[in-house]
Amino acid sequence: MDFSFSQEQEELRREARGFLETNADAPLAALRELGWLGVSVPEEHGGGGLSFVEEAILFEEAGRALYAGPFLTTAVVLPALPEVDEHAWSVELDGFVPSLDSVDRVLTERMQVVAAEGETLPSTDETRPLGRLRAAEDGDLLDGSFEPVRLRLLAGLALEAVGVAQRALELGVEYVSQREQFGKKIGTYQAVSHPLADTYVETELARSLAYWAAWSVAEEDERAPLAVASAKAQAAETAVAACERAIQVHGGIGFTWEHPLHRYYKRAQWLDAFGGHAASHRRVVAAALLD
Amino acid sequence: MDLRDTAEEAAFRAELRAWIEANLGDEIRHGRFEEAGREWSRKLFEAGYAGLTWPKEYGGAGAPYSHQAIFLEEMARAEAPSHLGVIGLGMAGPTIIAHGTEAQKERHLRKILSTEEIWCQGFSEPDAGSDLSAVRTSARLEGDRFVVNGQKVWSSFAHIADWCILVTRSDPESQRHAGLTYLLVDMHAPGVDVRPLRQITGEAEFNEIFFGDVEVPVENVVGEIGGGWAVAMTTLLHERGTLGFALTAALESQLQKLVALARERGATEVQRDAIAREWIGLQAVRYTNYRALTTLMKTGIPGPEGSGAKLWWSEANQRATKLALELLGPEATLLHGNGYWQHQQLRSRGNTIEAGTSEILRNIIAERVLGLPRSR
């Protein structure tokens, strides 16, 4: 048993973090140039020949940086194509398409490939608005089932959520280590520090589930659906709670538009809602245990 | 990253599982803990499963930590009783290995492994709980021996123990972390008085220990006279360090029983959601332990990932046992069968207090992991 990343994988994480810290709004093409698209696709199909574990690292870092582009959806579709292509992709899930206005193709749950035409709806998370496709036109059908795409997508959402939770925790820790009231750093007060300790514990737990899900998807393990459901449920709730606690310990400033926390909070809520709220995934787990 | 057992780990697991199958009968599984536990502990020793991670030169198996993790998982899976010598194996032994004299190692280690001698821990006092540095039990040096007076509390196994790891104040003028001395005390010495503490469950798992002019030879000091704090920290590091897998294994077995109860009695949608939540949490803490274990095996130092395991486990066990009572409906307070869930639920209230209260553990995470300013 070895539950750690290799040196190469850690290097990839450092590279991703470094790039995204200053380029959170880089176009998808810039990520393609870095070789981040099709990472897990075999080389003979135009991919990077690595595994979903490497992709998982990128999703987590994209979440941490609140990367704005349609990276996740493109990355999870590419392995379903016969050959890696140059399009920006999204997926339609439960009738909604994330980032419809910034992609050119959409894969539906029926494995139809359609043009990204339709209406973008006003959304709280402005960097990742949901859209609806124009009345169904018949597109080409891809071979294979949507299930592997769905598993990659949900695992990816869980990994992004871990990145969001981690960043919210860091922002909270930074702030309470500097802000003083009653003559002391407010992080000294246990009413302030203990919620952050809870966020730390929950984030590490969610991270473990998300890595378990990533490994299970990469290995096509038979427990992958259970691992993915568990990770999506736990990580999204963890991200939401992490942001809420971070906002609380920031006091008034955390409630302003000017502070970045609200964007993390809205992304966390987006991650919880898209692909099903936590309770819907726990229903899957309960059925596996009890029925 | 590979979450499967290596070939070597799989072989160890298979061999262990076969051994448990052949050696764990119902008379041990359901017997009275003290007799059955002694028998079980002796068998584990004879088969070489006691002190798995202890160095070979001290009679251990010198096995990697992964074997200890597999051992705990398989013991929980088989619902085996816990080892009677947990304090000796997990705390006293490692402390003696780290800080003890050759004579102490020679005298004690083998008898700890074989459970010929049982150990207890004399740390907490009525006025020194979370704040261990407030201990007042005194050790007065008179020639070649210390004379010990005072009171310890919350001591598991003290009523059957042969030896005690005792934190004392040897310098009456000293304060807090200075002036403490760590002693190995013979529980059969004149002046040692053990009184069971009846707890919320009705049973007496813990004891008070009273020391009245108890004489302890000076060669029973571990580490330096006055340097007991550092030695005590080694003990606590071992208490918390190897705890994660044991706790996860215990929770796994608890949730297996909870799922069986829910299948038998039926569960509402809300209860099903709660059971799924606990199962997901169990997987989360299990894989977090694996991450911490990998860090430990690669660097020799436990990673910070695992620091929340006990905190999280204690609250999860409280939720799970309460959920079981809810599944029992109006029968929740009836002691039918052996009153398993009623006992477990009441016992779980101690989980957030023993081995570091949840408040202390949150402080430790806030200050040592997150680097927040100290609250004290």
Buried residues in A194-214 as b, exposed as e (16+ CB within 10 A): bbbbbbbbbbbbbbbbbbbbb
Looking at the structure, do residues A63 and A174 belong to the same domain, yes or no?
A: no
**pLDDT above 90 coverage of chain B, percent:** 76
For A141, phi and psi rounded to 5 degrees? -95, 135
Average pLDDT over residues B59-67: 92
Contact by Cβ (8 Å): A152, A216 = no
Q: Which of B175, B202, B228 is the last residue of a domain?
A: B228
- Domain total for chain A? 2
Closest residue in B to A232 (Cα–Cα):
B280
Counting one residue from chain A and one from chain B, the pairs whose CB atoms sit within 8 A come to 154
Could you say which of B73, B117, B239, B305 is catalytic? B239
CB contact under 8 A, B375 and A189: yes
Q: What is the CATH number of the domain that holds B204?
A: 2.40.110.10
CATH of the domain at A210: 1.20.140.10
Active site residue B239: yes
Last residue of a domain, one of B84, B111, B140: B84
Residues of B in contact with A194 (CB under 8 A): 359, 362-363, 366
* Domain hosting residue A162, numbered range: 147-290
Taking contacts as CB-CB distances below 8 angstroms, the residues of chain B near A211 are: 1, 287, 291
Number of domains, chain B: 3
| Residue A284 to chain B, least CA–CA distance (Å) | 9
- Name the closest residue on chain A to residue B364, using Cα atoms: A197
Q: What's the pLDDT tens digit per position in B145-183?
A: 999 999 999 999 999 999 999 999 999 999 899 999 999
Q: Residue A1 domain-assigned?
A: no
CB contact under 8 A, A201 and B308: yes
Using a CB–CB cutoff of 8 Å, tell me whether A212 touches chain B: yes
Q: Are residues A161 and A137 in the same domain?
A: no
Long-range contacts of A134-142 (CB under 8 A, 24+ apart): A138/A112, A139/A108, A139/A112, A139/A113, A139/A114, A139/A115, A140/A112, A140/A113, A141/A110, A141/A111, A141/A112, A141/A113, A142/A80, A142/A81, A142/A107, A142/A111, A142/A112, A142/A113
| Residues A64 and A185 placed together within one structural domain of the fold | no
Beta carbons of B275 and A196 less than 8 Å apart: no
Domain end (from A141, A166, A185): A141
A272 and A176 housed in the same domain: yes
A230: nearest CB among B280, B305, B359: B280
- Across the interface, whether the CB atoms of A200 and B312 are under 8 A apart is answered no
Domain co-membership, A206 together with A128: no
In a domain, B354, yes or no: yes
Domain boundary among A112, A141, A170: A141
pLDDT at residue B236, rounded to an integer: 82
- Measured CA to CA, the distance from residue A154 to residue A227 in angstroms comes to 10
Please identify, among A141, A173, A202, the residue that sits at the C-terminal boundary of a domain: A141
Do A76 and A182 lie in one domain? The reply is no
Mean pLDDT to the nearest integer, B258-276: 97
Same domain, A279 and A161: yes
Name the more confident of B374 and A165.
A165
Would you say how long chain A is, in residues?
291
Is there a contact between A184 and B374 if contact means CB atoms under 8 Å apart? Answer: no
Mean pLDDT, all residues of chain A: 96
> Looking at the structure, do residues B65 and B183 belong to the same domain, yes or no?
no
What does each C-alpha distance from B107 to A110, B45, B95, B97, B351 come to in angstroms?
Answer: 73, 17, 14, 12, 34
Which residues in A lie closer than 8 A to residue B272 (C-beta atoms)? 282-283, 286, 290
CA distance B324 to B255: 10
pLDDT band at B305 (very low <50, low <70, confident <90, very high): confident
From chain A, the residues in CB contact with B307 under 8 A are 201
Residues 186-205 of A with CB under 8 A from B: 187-190, 193-194, 196-198, 200-201, 204-205
Separation CA A161–CA A141 (nearest Å): 31
- Hey, which bits of A18-127 come out as E strands? 89-91, 97-98, 105-107, 112-115, 118-120
Contact B372 A187 (CB under 8 A): yes
Residue A2 lies in a domain: no
A161 lies in the same domain as A282: yes
Q: Answer whether 0.90 is exceeded by the pTM.
A: yes
Cβ separation of A290 and B275 shorter than 8 Å? yes
* Residue B37 predicted with pLDDT over 90: no
| Same domain (yes/no): B261, B333 | yes
User: pLDDT tens across A147-174, in order?
Assistant: 999 999 999 999 999 999 999 999 999 9
Q: What is the pLDDT of residues A251-286, one digit of tens each?
A: 999 999 999 999 999 999 999 999 999 999 999 999
Same-domain check for residues A100 and A170: no
- Poorest-confidence range of A178-187, A234-243, B233-242? B233-242
Three-state secondary structure of chain B: CECCCCHHHHHHHHHHHHHHHHHCCHHHHCCCHHHHHHHHHHHHHHCCCCCCCCCHHHCCCCCCHHHHHHHHHHHHHCCCCCCCCHHHHHHHHHHHHHHCCHHHHHHHHHHHHCCCCCEEEECCECCECCCHHHCCCEEEEECCEEEEEEEECCCCCHHHCCEEEEEEECCCCCCCCCCEEEEEEECCCCCEEEEEECCCCCCCCEEEEEEEEEEEEHHHEECCCCEHHHHHHHHHHHHHHCHHHHHHHHHHHHHHHHHHHHHHHCCCHHHHHHHHHHHHHHHHHHHHHHHHHHHHHHHCCCCHHHHHHHHHHHHHHHHHHHHHHHHCHHHCCCCCCCCHHHHHHHHHCCCCCCCCCHHHHHHHHHHHHCCCCCCC
* B130 and B160 together in one domain: yes
Q: Is residue B235 part of a domain?
A: no
Contacts of B259 in chain A (CB under 8 A): 289-290
> Residue B179 is part of which domain span?
119-228
Are B64 and B124 within one domain?
A: no
Residue B365 C-alpha, separation from nearest chain A C-alpha, in angstroms: 6
Asked whether residue A278 falls in the same domain as residue A189, the answer is yes
Which residues numbered 138-177 in A keep a CB inside 8 Å of some CB on B? 169, 173, 176-177
Q: Is A91 domain-assigned?
A: yes
Which value, to the nearest 10 degrees, does the dihedral of the CA atoms of residues A255, A256, A258, A262 take?
Answer: 40
Q: Would the CB atoms of A2 and B285 count as touching at under 8 Å? A: no
Residues of chain A with pLDDT > 70: what percent?
Answer: 99
The answer on A190 and A124 residing in a single domain is no
Are residue A85 and residue A205 in the same domain, yes or no?
Answer: no
| CA dist., res. A138 & res. B231, Å (int) | 74
What pLDDT score was predicted for residue B241? 57
Partner-chain contact B372 A282, CB within 8 Å: no
How close, in Å, is residue A290 to chain B by CA atoms? Answer: 6
Cβ burial, residue A150 (10 Å; 0-12/13-18/19+): middle
Chain-chain contact of A3 with B312 (C-beta, under 8 angstroms)? no
Do the Cβ atoms of A285 and B369 come within 8 Å? no
Do B66 and B123 sit in the same domain of this protein? no
Alpha-carbon distance B175 to nearest alpha carbon in chain A (angstroms): 24
On whether residue B92 sits in a domain, the answer given is: no
Question: What's the token pair of residue B64?
Answer: 């990697």
pLDDT at residue B336 is higher than 80: no
Among the partner residues A176, A215, A233, nearest to B1 by beta-carbon distance: A215
pLDDT number for residue A239? 98
A183-187, B31-35, B247-251, B292-296: range with highest mean pLDDT = A183-187
Q: Taking a contact as any Cβ pair under 8 Å apart, which residues of chain A between 236 and 275 contact chain B?
A: none
On whether residue A62 sits in a domain, the answer given is yes
CATH number of the domain bearing residue A57: 1.10.540
Cα gap B136→B134, rounded to integer Å: 6
Confidence class for position B10, pLDDT limits 50, 70, 90: very high
Residue B236 counted as domain residue? no
Evaluate if residue A137 carries a pLDDT over 90: no
Q: Which of these three, B228, B262, B281, is where a domain ends?
A: B228
Chain A hits for B290, CB-CB cut-off 8 Å, are 1, 3, 208
What whole-number distance in Å separates Cα of residue A45 and Cα of residue B246? 46
In this structure, is residue B279 part of a structural domain? yes
Q: How far is B153 from chain A (nearest CA, A)?
A: 27
